[in-house]
Structure 1
Amino acid sequence: MVNQDDPRVLRTRQLIREAFRVLLQKKEFDAITIKDIAQRATINRATFYAHYEDKYALLEDITEQAFHKMFPEQVINAQEFTGEICNQLILLTHNYIVNFYQICRFDSKSIATLVDEKIKEMLQQMIESIFLKGDTSRMSEHHNAKIISAMTASAIYGAAHYWFMFRENDRTDLLVNIACPYVMNGLGLYRNCDE
């Protein structure tokens, strides 16, 4: 078992992640092999497997790590789901999608699907944690919070992804002006999204 706090382990994992990022810019995900990653990271394949089960686990780790770094303290510490929190989640989701798609070659639908699902899952978890902290009576049951956070995350992610894929301009203020009232109205918690 690998000690996750060991500086050598952290350094090796960083080498692996960086090698993978570089390869994603040059090759399709499906064409990248563990051998490619190991060679680029200047490690052997056994070392790679000591850290990651496969390239899918590596992709998931990179996606999760990058997305979590984007959450501002205000969102992490939010006690209720307000218009301002909704705005921030819409913008950070859009920014993450833009950044990730610009870094990686998305010729393969498999990587796009994997990354999209991971982002939606993390967004849902963050929204659920905010709902469970609040005093909203509809969220009193954990099951209700899961369902409502799944729907909210899907709406936010869907709007941000659509904006990235089909808009020619980068007017994220328009994205927020469209998506935030929709999400807040859907929750029955509509507040001014500029608050």
Structure 2
Amino acid sequence: MVNLQDPRVLRTRQLIMESFRELLRSRGFESISVKDIAQKATINRATFYTHYEDKYALLEETIEQAFRGMIPEDVANAKEFTGEVCDQLILLTYRYIVDFYKICRMDSKSIAKIVDDKIKHLLQQTIENIFLKGNIHQMEVNHHLKIISAMTGSAIYGAAHCWLKDGEMDRADFLVNVVHSYVMNGIGLHLK
């Protein structure tokens, strides 16, 4: 196991990730091999495998790091799921999807499922963490927070994904308005 606090380890992992991102921009995920990533990062394959199990593990970490990096500090530290927090999550999810699908040439259904599942999970975790920091002390409500978070994250992700697929990329404000009402009304019903 590598020491993730070691500056050399951090530099190597960053180099691997940057090389991987560059390769994703220029070709499809399926055509990228560990050998390609290692060559681009100017490391050997053994070094790659010291840090990552395979290119799928690297993909998952890349997705997570990029998504978490897009979450504004006020959303990450929010103690209540407000309308403003909802709007920011809708926009950041949409922007993330656009970046990944357009910039990284998401032309494979198998990678699309990995990306979709990971983003949904991260969005659900983010929403659940906000709920848990809030003043929700009712046992019944706490028991259902995971389900409410999953539904809320799925609604946001599903709408943003649909918006991208329908080619409405220049109308993110309309997406926010539609999803905001749906999500906030749904949360209001469940957290009473």
TM-score range, shorter chain: over 0.9
Question: How has the CA–CA distance of structure 1 residues 168 and 160 changed in structure 2, closer, same or farther, with 3 Å as cutoff?
Answer: closer
- CA distance in 2: counterparts of 1:51 and 1:61, whole angstroms: 11
Instruction: Specify every segment of 5 or more residues in structure 1 that has no aligned partner in the other structure, as ranges.
Output: 191-195
**Percentage identity across aligned positions?**
67
Aligned pairs, number: 190
- Local SS of the residue matching 2:3: coil
State the shift of 1:139 in Å. 6.8
- What residue is the counterpart of 1:55 in the other structure? 55
CA contact (8 A) 1:132 1:139 kept: no
- What residue is the counterpart of 2:4 in the other structure? 4
- What residue is the counterpart of 1:112 in the other structure? 112
The two structures have a TM-score, normalised by structure 1, of 0.91
Q: Which moved more, 1:74-83 or 1:45-54?
A: 74-83
Matches within 5 A, 1:26-41: 26-41=26-41
Question: How has the CA–CA distance of structure 1 residues 139 and 75 changed in structure 2, closer, same or farther, with 3 Å as cutoff?
Answer: farther
Question: How has the CA–CA distance of structure 1 residues 71 and 84 changed in structure 2, closer, same or farther, with 3 Å as cutoff?
Answer: same
State the shift of 1:22 in Å. 1.4
Q: Which moved more, 1:180-189 or 1:140-149?
A: 140-149
State the shift of 1:141 in Å. 5.0
Instruction: Specify every segment of 5 or more residues in structure 2 that has no aligned partner in the other structure, as ranges.
Output: none
- What residue is the counterpart of 1:167 in the other structure? 167
Q: Which moved more, 1:180-189 or 1:143-152?
A: 180-189
CA contact (8 A) 2:136 2:142 kept: no
State the shift of 1:140 in Å. 5.0
Could you list the per-position Cα deviations for residues 60-100 of structure 1 after superposition, in whole angstroms to 9, with x for gaps in the alignment?
A: 00000010011111111111111111001001101111112
- What residue is the counterpart of 2:87 in the other structure? 87
- What residue is the counterpart of 1:193 in the other structure? none
1:75 paired to 2:108? no
Question: How has the CA–CA distance of structure 1 residues 168 and 78 changed in structure 2, closer, same or farther, with 3 Å as cutoff?
Answer: closer
Question: How has the CA–CA distance of structure 1 residues 168 and 125 changed in structure 2, closer, same or farther, with 3 Å as cutoff?
Answer: closer
State the shift of 1:2 in Å. 1.1
Q: Which runs of 4+ in 1 moved over 6 A?
A: none
- CA distance in 1: counterparts of 2:90 and 2:67, whole angstroms: 13
- What residue is the counterpart of 2:43 in the other structure? 43
Letter in 2 for 1:64: E
Question: How has the CA–CA distance of structure 1 residues 139 and 104 changed in structure 2, closer, same or farther, with 3 Å as cutoff?
Answer: farther
CA contact (8 A) 2:100 2:106 kept: no
Letter in 2 for 1:34: V
State the shift of 1:169 in Å. 4.2
- What residue is the counterpart of 2:64 in the other structure? 64
Q: Which moved more, 1:133-142 or 1:167-176?
A: 133-142
Question: How has the CA–CA distance of structure 1 residues 73 and 79 changed in structure 2, closer, same or farther, with 3 Å as cutoff?
Answer: same
CA contact (8 A) 1:127 1:153 kept: yes
Letter in 1 for 2:107: D
RMSD over aligned CA atoms reads 1.7
State the shift of 1:168 in Å. 3.6
